[in-house]
């Protein structure tokens, strides 16, 4: 017997990384929110690698933080090792990555949720979505409890009809033996949504004391830790080491000789796996020219002896996994605490969503995270934040919040999902952004915090910190642009000491630090009026001065991009009536229903010729012809 248990403005389904950000931001924006999760103990759970950030993923975490999200703060509280990736390259691809204590991370996130005003958390399984006249009405749980709501955000991760696969051992389950979601898929299908199957996997976990560390290479963290959150002033911890080892010919032969037992290769697994995080079987079979592959040995936390074996994801039978792991240097006598496995699960077609992550045909229904076909905690959290912001704005009857490709990596991620869809688990990369010099991780607050403040996702404390930083940067740049450095003997002696060419005529300090061998800190002897500034401000001054020409060029490119984004397509346009459009273009435009010509041009199958026809039609349409 069903019964009414309560009424909320927004209901979030799922307590993973997407559900956390979605529910927190709704509550923080003053909206009464309910989070329903299968297991309260798995809130913030990291079923795979115990890390936050990485190449381009670190950009997402910084953007989440700049908009008032929680992931960056949680990572700062739970970090056990920090590394800035690609630091030898330009600032556009610098990406922060933290090894975190996964149990501490879960505990932190659960406490934050439990203490959040306007947020109620319950354990339960959603059985059905109730939709009337293409609008959300509420959700029904398997217990018979019914909750009314104007808005629902589906953040079910990899739990929809999921099954775990280890060789021939196949069973219904979520990650790590947790319960899966058995009913919600049918409700989504009844609403007319397309469902596909994706696959991901995780490697074995080893006992720390059983590894021979004399045979593996230490991988220490950075001496100085750069925080993820713009609110964190500094992090001082005793970092733990990770380690590096390699597969070898014996490892590869074990896999090759047993490839017929691999569910990936014998047809047992139907789901499509992640291209950029392949199983060890895939690596060996597809990259036969390589005689070894890197395997990283990473601690899962300070309160556990479990070690994560990055690079060894596998769904081979358990006995084969044991043999191949023990063939690796340093792991010959290791104890395997958990066997690696693959997991298949249901995902949605993101081309059925708007850029707000709301379904095109159903008002008030949003989805975010791995159910949208993405991989990774960071991609999930960023979607959760955007869907939560837009759900809160929807309830308040305010304009939606959309980030475009020129404003954030979050904008790139969502735009790719909406326009291109994905036939495999989507992973963000710096190469996906056309404007990556503008979308650096170091300036995420300068790009986004003002926007967050205007819509109510950023509080006064965060905004004031951002605003003070912005003013300090602007003031210092203005000062050094007007500070002339003369070509005296004393000045040239200092430059000679810095292995820089002498000055033949006076130059501003701003132009001087553009030199490759110099920076703001190195020329301190030439600046007698210098004031004490934070590293974050100094970093901005160095980047802005040194990359000024390139930044200006990308800003010009963005202006051209915006011109197309501002050419809006009428909502009631009928593409079938437009002569000159190719059939493929008509089909794609009818499915995606782009908002503007820029978006239309990014849809695979829509050509520049189609856009020219569409532009002419819109002009005539507006004139009533």
**Stretch 448-453: mean pLDDT:** 98
Task: For 292-322, write each residue's pLDDT tens digit.
Answer: 999 999 999 999 999 999 999 999 999 999 9
Its CATH class, for the domain covering 567-622, is mainly alpha
Who has greater pLDDT, 289 or 196?
A: 196
Mean pLDDT of 70-93: 96
Worst-scoring range by mean pLDDT, 220-229, 266-275, 557-566, 587-596?
Answer: 266-275
Instruction: List, as one string, the DSSP characters of 79-98.
Output: EEEEEEETTTS-GGG-EEEE
By three-state DSSP, how is residue 190 classified?
Answer: helix
**Which pairs with CB-CB distance under 8 Å and at least 24 residues apart come from 250-256?**
250/327, 251/284, 251/324, 251/327, 251/328, 252/284, 252/291, 254/320, 254/323, 254/324, 254/327, 255/280, 255/281, 255/284, 255/285, 255/316, 255/320, 255/324, 256/284, 256/285
**pTM of the entire structure?**
0.95
Instruction: Indicate the pLDDT class of residue 266, thresholds 50, 70 and 90.
Output: confident
What's the pLDDT tens digit per position in 477-529?
A: 999 999 999 999 999 999 999 999 999 999 999 999 999 999 999 999 999 88
Query: Residue 346 forms beta bridges with which residues?
Result: 197
The SS3 of residue 510 is helix
In this prediction, residues 535-564 reach a mean pLDDT of 95
Per residue in 144-196, pLDDT (tens digit) is 999 999 999 999 999 999 999 999 999 999 999 999 999 999 999 999 999 99
- What tokens does 402 get? 């959309």
Provide long-range contacts, Cβ within 8 A and 24+ apart, for 450-453.
451/67, 451/401, 451/403, 451/407, 452/66, 452/67, 452/68
Query: Rounded to 10 degrees, what is the CA torsion of 255, 257, 262, 266?
Result: 150
Give the pLDDT confidence score for residue 153 in this predicted structure: 98
> Where do the CATH 2.40.30.260 domains begin and end in the chain?
205-341
pLDDT higher than 70, residue 618:
yes
Residue range 388-435, pLDDT digits in tens? 999 999 999 999 999 999 999 999 999 999 999 999 999 999 999 999
Q: What is the mean pLDDT of residues 259-277?
A: 82
Statement: residue 328 has pLDDT above 90: yes
Average pLDDT over residues 321-339: 97
Residue range 20-48: mean pLDDT, rounded = 97
- End-to-end Cα spacing for the chain: 58
Name the nearest CA neighbour of 81 among 195, 204, 243, 189.
243
Q: What is the SS3 assignment for 491?
A: helix
Distance, CA of 267 to CA of 170 (rounded, Å): 13
The mean of the pLDDT values for the chain is: 95
Tokens 């912001």, residue located: 389
| Length of the chain in terms of residues written | 625
CATH 2.40.30.260 matches 205-341: yes
Candidate ranges 258-272, 273-287, 369-383, 604-618; pick with highest mean pLDDT: 369-383
pLDDT in tens, 191-245: 999 999 999 999 999 999 999 999 999 999 999 999 999 999 999 999 999 999 9
- Cβ atoms 346, 187 nearer than 8 A: no
pLDDT of residue 287: 86
Count of Cβ atoms closer than 10 Å to residue 259 Cβ? 16
Task: Give the separation between CA 173 and CA 482, rounded to whole angstroms.
Answer: 65
- Which distant-in-sequence residues (6+ apart) come within 8 Å of 564 by Cβ? 596, 597, 598, 601
DSSP-assigned letter for residue 360: T
What residue ranges of the chain are covered by domains with CATH 1.10.150.570? 567-622
Residue 447 has, within 13 A of its CA and on its CB side, a CA count of 27
pLDDT at position 277, please?
Answer: 77
Residue 625 has pLDDT above 70, yes or no: no
Find the largest Cα–Cα distance for the chain.
91
């Amino acid at each position: 017997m069903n019964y009414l248990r309560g009424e909320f403005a927004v209901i979030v389904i799922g307590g993973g990384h997407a559900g956390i950000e979605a529910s927190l931001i709704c509550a923080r924006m003053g909206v009464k929110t309910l989070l329903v999760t299968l297991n309260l103990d798995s809130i913030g759970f990291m079923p795979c690698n115990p890390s936050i950030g990485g190449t381009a993923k670190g950009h997402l975490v910084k953007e989440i933080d700049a908009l008032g999200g929680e992931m960056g703060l949680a990572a700062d509280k739970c970090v056990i090792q920090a590394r800035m990736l690609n630091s030898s390259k330009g600032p556009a691809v610098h990406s922060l990555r933290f090894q975190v204590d996964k149990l501490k991370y879960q505990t932190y996130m659960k406490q934050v949720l439990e203490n959040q005003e306007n947020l109620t958390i319950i354990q339960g399984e959603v059985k059905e979505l109730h939709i009337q006249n293409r609008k959300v009405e509420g959700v029904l749980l398997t217990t018979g409890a019914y909750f009314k709501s104007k808005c629902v955000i589906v953040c079910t991760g990899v739990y929809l009809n999921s099954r775990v696969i280890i060789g021939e051992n196949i069973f219904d389950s979520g990650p790590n033996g947790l319960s899966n979601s058995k009913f919600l898929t049918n409700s989504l299908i009844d609403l007319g949504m397309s469902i596909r199957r994706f696959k991901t996997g995780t490697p074995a976990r080893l006992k720390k004391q059983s590894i021979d560390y004399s045979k593996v290479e230490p991988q220490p963290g950075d001496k100085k830790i750069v925080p993820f959150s713009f609110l964190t002033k500094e992090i001082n911890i005793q970092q733990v080491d990770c380690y590096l080892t390699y597969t070898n010919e014996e490892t590869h032969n074990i896999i090759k000789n047993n490839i017929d037992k691999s569910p990936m290769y014998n047809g047992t697994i139907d789901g499509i796996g992640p291209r950029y995080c392949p199983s060890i079987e895939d690596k060996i079979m597809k990259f036969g020219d390589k005689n070894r592959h890197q395997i990283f040995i990473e601690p899962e936390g300070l309160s556990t002896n479990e070690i994560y074996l990055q690079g060894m994801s596998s769904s081979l039978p358990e006995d084969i996994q044991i043999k191949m792991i023990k063939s690796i240097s340093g792991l010959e006598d290791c104890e395997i605490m958990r066997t690696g496995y693959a997991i298949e699960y249901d995902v949605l077609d993101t081309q059925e969503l708007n850029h707000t992550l709301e379904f095109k045909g159903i008002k008030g229904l949003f989805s975010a995270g791995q159910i949208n076909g993405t991989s990774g905690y960071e991609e999930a959290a960023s979607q959760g934040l955007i869907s939560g912001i837009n759900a809160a704005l929807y309830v308040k009857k305010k304009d939606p919040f959309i980030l475009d490709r020129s404003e954030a990596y979050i904008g790139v991620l969502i735009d790719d999902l909406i326009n291109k869809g994905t036939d495999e688990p989507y992973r963000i990369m710096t190469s996906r952004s056309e404007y990556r010099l503008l979308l650096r991780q170091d300036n995420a607050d300068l790009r986004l915090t003002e926007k967050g403040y205007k819509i109510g996702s950023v509080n006064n404390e965060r905004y004031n910190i951002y605003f003070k930083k912005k003013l300090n940067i602007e003031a210092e740049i203005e000062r050094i642009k007007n500070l002339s450095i003369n070509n005296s003997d004393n000045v040239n002696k200092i430059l000679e000491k810095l292995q820089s060419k002498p000055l033949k005529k006076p130059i501003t300090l701003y132009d001087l630090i553009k030199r490759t061998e110099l920076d703001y800190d190195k020329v301190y002897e030439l600046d007698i009026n210098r004031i004490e500034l934070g590293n974050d401000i100094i970093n901005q001054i160095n980047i802005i001065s040194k990359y000024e020409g390139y930044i200006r060029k990308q800003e010009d490119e963005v202006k051209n991009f915006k011109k197309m984004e501002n050419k809006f397509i009428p909502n009631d346009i009928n593409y079938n009536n437009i002569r000159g459009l190719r059939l493929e273009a008509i089909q794609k435009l009818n499915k995606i229903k782009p908002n503007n010509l820029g978006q239309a041009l990014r849809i695979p199958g829509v050509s520049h010729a189609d856009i020219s026809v569409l532009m002419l039609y819109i002009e005539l349409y507006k004139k009533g012809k």
